[in-house]
Amino acid sequence: MRLTEQQVRSLYGQDVQDRSGAKIGSVGQVWADPSGEATWVSVKTGVMGHHESMAPLDAARMQQDGRLQVQYDKATVRSAPSVETGTNQPLSTEQLAQLYRHYQIGEQAGPPPKQKQQAGGPEMVRSEERLRVGTESEPAGAARLSKRVVTENVQTSVPVEHDEVTVVHEPILDADRANVRAGIGEEQREMELRAEHPVVAKEQVPVERVRLNKDEIVEEQPVNAQVRRELVDADVPERARRNR
């Protein structure tokens, strides 16, 4: 992916997405080859402390909103060789070899071409501050499951049976009197009666499983900061000034 100088400047601090669109982190720094073409970026993932994972710009593309999408998955970028945050050192041959092996891309043949130096008069280096926005993981509390015992009233009903007694008077007919013994005197007979009553018993049974699930949520949080940049003014006599 060939980028203009303006596009390279706009990369700093932009979100970096993997090939599925998931956010990996944000752009920390940009490296260019000796011809001045941007070839590598470091990605601040927020999980490696003071180190930033390296990602190639080959086959990467910029979204309309300025985000950078690389053609690798999130795990591959986060596990890539890293550099220290804020370093201004060029990538060494050993570092490049590690990156080529990690991303399984062919190494460049021969030494890279040197950057051409333009001959001329005195020059001045103009510097500016660039905002590097990243994330850092920190404890945000703990989620716990606690189990306690409460007592509640349960009201229900159960059918119960009991015996009821009725007195039945049955006259003896003339035809049956010969078979019935008559006698006058005191006598007592008993009949056993039964009645049911509710009985309550308790048993412990499992009813459900309760667990905690954790999801990683990515949201945008605005960051405001001030950066400084230098301006270079040229004081050239009018006679020696070239009109462009």
| Cα–Cα nearest to 231, from 132, 124, 122, 131 | 124
* pLDDT for residue 237 is more than 50: yes
Mean pLDDT of 84-94: 85
Q: Which residue has the tokens 């940049």?
A: 229
100: closest CA among 39, 14, 21? 39
pLDDT at 167: 94
Rounded to whole angstroms, how far apart are CA atoms 27 and 10? Answer: 10
Higher-scoring residue by pLDDT: 182, 101: 101
Query: Bridge-partner residues for 44, per DSSP?
Result: 26
Q: Which tens digit of pLDDT belongs to each residue from 167-179?
A: 999 998 988 888 8
Q: What is the pLDDT of residue 233?
A: 85
DSSP state of 11: H
Cα–Cα distance measured from residue 107 to residue 109, given in angstroms and rounded to the nearest whole number: 6
Q: DSSP letter at 108?
A: P
The predicted pLDDT at position 86 comes to 80
For CA atoms 10, 70, 42, 89, give the dihedral sign.
Answer: negative
Strands 23-32 and 61-62: unpaired
Q: How high is the pLDDT of residue 101?
A: 92
Q: Residue 30 in contact with residue 9, Cβ under 8 Å?
A: no
Q: Could you tell me if 82 and 42 are in contact, meaning their C-beta atoms sit under 8 angstroms apart?
A: yes
> What's the CA gap between 26 and 29, in Å, rounded?
10
Q: Is the pLDDT of residue 202 over 70?
A: yes
Whether 93 contacts 74, CB under 8 Å: no
Q: pTM for the full model?
A: 0.44
Q: Which residue has the higher pLDDT, 89 or 132?
A: 89
Helix (H) or strand (E) run with residue 103 in it: helix 93-103
Structure-token pair, residue 65 = 């909103």
Report pLDDT for 121: 56
The tens digit of pLDDT for each residue in 23-82 reads 999 998 898 887 888 899 999 987 656 789 999 998 888 888 889 999 999 999 999 999
pLDDT at 243: 62
Written as six digits, the tokens of 172 are: 């003896």
- Neighbouring-strand partners of residue 83: 52
The pLDDT value recorded for residue 35 is 80
Are 107 and 94 spatial neighbours (Cβ–Cβ below 8 Å)? no
pLDDT of amino acid 107:
59
pLDDT value for 110: 44
What does the pLDDT read at residue 72?
A: 93
Please state, in angstroms and rounded to a whole number, the distance separating the CA atoms of residues 50 and 28: 11
Q: Give the tens place of pLDDT for each residue, 100-149.
A: 999 998 755 444 433 333 334 567 777 888 877 777 888 888 999 999 99
